[in-house]
Amino acid sequence: MAVLARSPLAPDHFPDLPPVPGIAFAVAETGARYKGRVDLLAIRAEKPIPAAGVFTRSLMPSAAVDWCKSVLPDGAGHLAGILVNAGNANAFTGKAGALCNETLARAYAAHLGCTPDAIALASTGVIGEPLDPAPLLAALPGLAFNSADWEQAARAISTTDTFPKGASARARIDGDEVVITGIAKGSGMIQPDMATMLGFICTNAAIAPEALIDLLREAVGQSFNRITVDSDTSTSDSILMLASGCGVTHAPISRADDPRLDDFRRQLKAVLIDLAHQVVRDGEGAQKFITIRITGAESESAAQIIGFAIANSPLIKTAIAGCDPNWGRIIMAVGKSGQKADRDRLKIWLGDQLVAEDGARHPAYSEAIAASHMRGQNIAIHVDVAVGEGAATVWTCDLTHGYISINADYRS
C-alpha cells in the first residue's frame, strides 16, 4: 500500500526515551511484506525475567496470542525474549500458523541460549495469510542488539501507523529511581478488549510476575481499554511487559498492593495513557482527537459503555469530522447504550459550553460557540446521565474519508 501522510495529530517529534538496564533490542529488514523498511523487532533480556501479558479477548486470536498464553499462564511468568513481526498477523492460519510460531520460538530461543517457553511472539498485519518463517529466520543471525534506538524499534512494529509511538517515565521505589519505557503500534482495527494493536513495556524495577500482571491489567484497564478508532477488536491485541530488576537495590516486590509501588503504579498508568492517546491520534484518517467524559452513571462499567456508544457512533464521528455540533446524535447514542440515564435530568457539554439540561436545549446555548469548538483539533464531550456516581473517560477520533481510502487500499 502507499506510504501514508503523517497524522496532523501526531506529536512534533519522537520522545527521547532512556534505555532500560538489562533489556536490549534489535531490528531487521526481512522483506517478508514490506520493502525498504525494518519489519522485525527482537527484544532480549540477559536471562529469563519477570513478565506479564494482557491479550485480546477476540474469539479468533492469532497464533502468536495462543503461543503467548501458553508461555505466560494466567498472564504471568518469565521471559528471555520477544520476537515481533509486522505485515502478517499469522491469524486464522490453522496448524501452519501454530507450526510457524513453534519454529520461530525455537530458533530465537537457540539464538539467545534459552528454552522456547521463555520466548514470546507477536505478529501484526493482514489476517488469513500464512506466515512464511524463512525470511524471519534468515534475519536472526544478523541481529545486532543495542544498535537500534527506541524509535527504530517502534517503526519496526508498524503497519498503517503514520508515526512511531513511545513514552517513558521514572518512578521511585524505596531509594531507587526506576525507568518505565514503552512503545506501541496501532492505527486501525482499534477497540482493544483486554488493535490491530501491540505494546511493549520495559522497566528495571524488581517486581515479581504475580504483582506485575496485576499492575499491568489495572493500567491497561484505564488506558488501552478506554480507546476506540473504529470499534473493531483485533485478533492480535497484545501488551507485554518485562521487569529486569537490574541496577536497583530494592528487594523484589511480590504484591501489587505493596505501598512501595504507589508511585510506580501512577507512572505506569501515565505511560500507558500516553501511548493509548498516541494510537488514537494516529487513527486512520483522523483529523480530531476526542475526549468523552461520562459522569453520573450507575457504575464505572455503565459509564464506559455509554462512552463507547458515543465514541463508536458513525453519525457522531462524521459530524465531528464536519465540524457540526449536532448534539442530538449524542442523545441518540446515550439512549441506545442500554444503560440507565435520566432523560429529564441529563446534561451535555461541548467544550466548556452547557448545551442541554433538564430534558431540553439550554436557553443560553450558542450554536456559533459550539461550532467554533468543533473546528478545533481537540474535541471535548461531557455527559452527565444523572443516575449515580459512576464515571469513565473514553478517547476516540473522528471518521473521515481518509479512513475509507486507507482501508480500501490496505492489501494492495
393: amino acid identity, one letter: T
In contact, 10 and 287? CB cutoff 8 Å: no
Is there a binding annotation on residue 123? no
Is there a binding annotation on residue 412? yes
Kindly list the catalytic residues.
Answer: 196
Closest CA to 182 of 220, 146, 150, 216: 150
Angle at Cα 401 formed by Cα 399 and Cα 403, nearest 5°? 60
Half-sphere exposure of 113 (CA within 13 A, CB side): 3
72: amino acid identity, one letter: L
Using CA atoms, how far apart are residues 208 and 113, in angstroms rounded to an integer? 23
Where residue 7 falls (left for φ over 0; alpha for ψ -120 to 50; beta otherwise) is beta
Closest CA to 82 of 225, 201, 221: 201
Question: Which stretches does DSSP call E strand in 151-197?
Answer: 165-173, 176-185
DSSP symbol at 4: P
Using CA atoms, how far apart are residues 36 and 412, in angstroms rounded to an integer? 17
Is there a binding annotation on residue 58? no
Using CA atoms, how far apart are residues 304 and 392, in angstroms rounded to an integer? 5
Residue that has been written with the C-alpha cell 462512552 in this structure: 307
Is there a binding annotation on residue 407? yes
Is there a binding annotation on residue 160? no
Three-state SS at 214: helix
Cell of 274: 500516553
Q: Where are the alpha helices (DSSP H) in 282-411?
A: 300-311, 314-321, 328-336, 367-374, 401-408
Q: What is the DSSP string of 227-248?
A: B-SSSPPPS--EEEEEE--TT-
213-224 exposure pattern, b = at least 16 Cβ within 10 A, e = fewer: bbbbbebbbbbb
- Evaluate the CA torsion angle 334, 338, 340, 343 in order and state its sign: positive
In contact, 51 and 211? CB cutoff 8 Å: no
Is there a binding annotation on residue 162? no
Specify binding-site residues.
159, 185, 196, 284, 407, 412
Per the annotation, where are the binding residues for substrate? 159, 185, 196, 284, 407, 412
